[in-house]
Structure 1
Amino acid sequence: MGRVHRLFLDDRPETLGLTPPPLPPRISATPSKHSLTYRPNLFDSLGTSDLTRPASSTHLPRPSFSLSDSSFNLHRTNAVAASAEHVDSSSATNGRDDSDPPPVVKILACKACGTHLSHNGNNNLISKDFHGHHGKAWLMRTVFNTVLGEPSSRAMTTGVHVVADIDCTSCGTTVGWKYVKAMETSQRYKEGCFIIEIPLVTMKQADV
């Protein structure tokens, strides 16, 4: 048998004048420093293996919320309007119920001649729980159209007081007195105030 001659051809691309294809990318067996080991669920602690996932994939997209959203602005506008309406209604009533009648201001006038002597408005009336020579009396802060008499000491149910009678300037009727001085410490609040005897005056509603 004759010798067999084997011909080996060089089939490399560069030998044949071809451009060799690019090499495939190498996959590293070790995770990079940017990777993160995580557990896919809470049951991994029971023995399942850890997985390696890039850190970027662990971040879930955050829901976006814009203050310019029409529904948000609508609710905010309604809330502000309701609050303003509540403030306006409270300011208009000044803490008083709309069903409550307004306070009535009365003028106290001399029963004999009709001269105005005092009124019960602007906190001028201190108390209605007093008694005079003729019956019920009111304690007032101020009076007008009266003449002040000479002061004298008088023993009253609440102690000794220095008082002076007040007379109507038009007809001279004594309509009450002024507390000049109180001897008891507890009665000092009366000093400088006036007693008007209700049976000696008339009352009419003031035009306010």
Structure 2
Amino acid sequence: MGDYNLIGPRFYSCYRCRNPVALHDDIVAKGFQSRNGRAFLFSHSMNVVSGPKEDRQLMTGLHMVSDVHCGDCGEVLGWKYEKAYEDSQKYKEGKAVLEKFKIVDEKR
């Protein structure tokens, strides 16, 4: 038997403090854009704190969102969709977008 049984799932961590924030298997879409470049939509995130909810005009319309902060160092990593006002965007509700340059792919 190899070491593969000891290796956990592939995950992403905060680029500043390496706090694990999302599992690779929870990626819903990789084609998202933020002001700073590519971003990934995750069905779940972990070890993060959400900021206050606010309405924000994004590329796909008006959404109620909250900034997602690393639970360890406080760095803003992206945002969470709290509410989508358009029916075609409802699938995003409750999901988090993490900016690619703010997270590190921890390949184990």
- TM normalised by structure 1 equals 0.47
Quote the residue 1:152 is aligned against. 54
How far apart are 1:125 and its partner, in Å? 1.1
Aligned-partner Cα distance in 1 for 2:100–2:10: 13
SS in 1 for 2:52: coil
Aligned-partner Cα distance in 2 for 1:191–1:165: 14
1:194 maps to 2:96: yes
Aligned-partner Cα distance in 2 for 1:161–1:190: 10
RMSD: 1.0
Counterpart pick for 1:110 among 14, 18, 31: 14
How far apart are 1:169 and its partner, in Å? 1.2
After superposition, the C-alpha distances for 1:148-203 in whole angstroms (9 at most, x for unaligned) are: 10000001111000000110111110001110011111001000111010101111
Q: How does 1:41-190 map onto structure 2 within 5 Å?
A: 106-121=10-25, 124-190=26-92
Structure richer in strand, relative to its length: 2
How far apart are 1:112 and its partner, in Å? 0.4
Aligned-partner Cα distance in 2 for 1:170–1:146: 8
Misfit runs of 4+, over 2 Å: none
SS in 1 for 2:89: helix
How many residue pairs end up in the alignment?
Answer: 100
Which of the pair has more CA radius of gyration?
A: 1
Higher relative contact order (CA 8 A, sep 6+): 2
How far apart are 1:133 and its partner, in Å? 2.6
Structure richer in helix, relative to its length: 1
SS in 2 for 1:151: strand
After superposition, the C-alpha distances for 1:128-147 in whole angstroms (9 at most, x for unaligned) are: 01011321000000001101
| Structure 1 segments unaligned to the other structure (5+ residues) | 1-104
Aligned-partner Cα distance in 2 for 1:202–1:185: 33
| Structure 2 segments unaligned to the other structure (5+ residues) | 1-8
SS in 2 for 1:144: coil
- TM normalised by structure 2 equals 0.88
Q: How does 1:8-27 map onto structure 2 within 5 Å?
A: none
